[in-house]
Amino acid sequence: MACVRNVSKDYGCSTQASQNLIMLEKTGKGIRMTEPPHDQTSQVQQLPTQKTPTIAPLTTITIAVIGDVHDRWDADDAIALKHLGVDLVLLVGDFGNESVNVVRSIAALDIPKAAILGNHDAWYSATEWGIKKCPYDRTQEDRVQQQLDLLGEAHVGYGKLDFPAFNLTVVGARPFSWGGSEWKNTDSFYRSRYGITSFAESTERIVEAASSSACDTVIFLGHCGPKGLGDRAEDICGRDWSPPGGDHGDPDFAEAIEATRKLGKTIPLVTFGHMHHQLRHTKQHQRVSIVDRDGTIYLNAANVPRIVKTDTDCHRNFSLVSLQNGIVTKASLVWLNQGMTPISETVLYQDETFSSKPHQGREAIV
């Protein structure tokens, strides 16, 4: 069990997370960002004969989920995250084919963050065919380990990271996942690096991390999503290559989520990537990117490519999640231009109990 990464970093429990409300005009050209007063608590005088209960103020944090990067990351991403007023960044992996320099840049991001490495992040190390194609001398360097070292405690694969200032813990699923219910091309890789030889052992390792979380609110971060969310090609983890159809989610991830619920943990958000929104077998529509089930929002953030350059501009996307007192109230896909101005916002999910107005134009089936 020495491979389990049980780490906790205090990002300042005394600092209240700011409330970030993003409102985009119908023209898609303007944005207004507001923050509430820093002190929303009222002073209540306590009488000697009666205790006055303390009521915590509503706290909303903005989480940016960054889908499969595939080498599409630059210095402007950090600037964009600051413009969006993000409190926490979650990265689902596939930064590139063992792209150490990309990971180095992401590791330098000075916003609270958690990440998990994907299958492309072990592209030349996890499979026999990948090892044969390796462009560098694997006897002289280990680029998988270099990425792990650069991310340090921010890498939550088979581990967790506590964020007491936000009253939540991010728990990582199996890192370097290829998806699917067959334990293949992975045995020697996981055995040598983590001592894991089966889905059952993988589930146990994830649950062990979740059980050690300091907070009762748990957000799960994976590269591929969990099994059980649909078996159509267009479903959130559906197989979209020939032959199309079938659930390509991770069974160990799904079992770990259920086991964590039985521990009494609240799981408002499970987020991941790997299964790109653009389907391979058809261009008529895109993959379902969000599912609301059993009080948990499942978000696939793999809108690829995440950066698109034109002759005159550069657009980049982020998935934004609003979390209010441990409940997801909104999830949307936002595109920014080179000037860091949002040019579009597609609301994927909105909890109407937290909204004063019904929202129009939901993109995905929830």
Three-class secondary structure of residue 23 per DSSP: strand
User: Tell me, what CATH number does 197's domain have?
Assistant: 3.60.21.10
At residue 65, what are phi and psi to the nearest 5 degrees? -105, 125
Within-domain flag for 144: yes
Within-domain flag for 238: yes
**Closest to 145 in 3D by CA, of 106, 194, 111:** 194
pTM exceeds cut of 0.85: no
Q: How many domains does the chain have?
A: 1
Task: Give the integer Cα–Cα distance in Å for 166 and 88.
Answer: 9
Six token digits for residue 94: 């596939």
Q: How many CA atoms lie within 13 A of 338 on its CB side?
A: 7
**Bridge partners, 169 (sequence order):** 162, 218
How does pLDDT run across 86-127, given as a tens digit for each residue? 999 999 999 999 999 999 999 999 999 999 999 999 999 999
Residues written for the chain: 366
Within-domain flag for 40: no
Task: Give the integer Cα–Cα distance in Å for 27 and 267.
Answer: 35
Peptide bond between residue 342 and the one before it cis (omega within 30 degrees of 0): no
At residue 69, what are phi and psi to the nearest 5 degrees? -80, -45
b/e map of 289-309 (b: 16 or more CB within 10 Å)?
A: bbbbeeebbbbbbbbbbbbee
Least confident stretch, 48-57, 182-191, 272-281: 48-57
Task: Give the integer Cα–Cα distance in Å for 26 and 341.
Answer: 14
Least confident stretch, 39-48, 183-192, 249-258: 39-48
For the chain, how far is it from start to end, CA to CA, in angstroms?
38
H or E stretch covering 82: helix 75-83
Within-domain flag for 39: no
Does pLDDT of 352 surpass 80? yes
Contacts of 262 (CB under 8 A, 6+ apart): none
How does pLDDT run across 125-171, given as a tens digit for each residue? 999 999 999 999 999 999 999 999 999 999 999 999 999 999 999 99
Predicted pLDDT of residue 77: 98
Within-domain flag for 197: yes
Within-domain flag for 224: yes
Predicted pLDDT of residue 351: 94
Share of the chain above pLDDT 90, in %: 76
Query: How would DSSP label each residue in 95-109?
Result: -SSS-HHHHHHHHT-
Within-domain flag for 142: yes
Contacts of 188 (CB under 8 A, 6+ apart): none
Within-domain flag for 28: no
Could you list the residue range(s) of the whole structural domain that residue 114 is in? 5-21+58-354
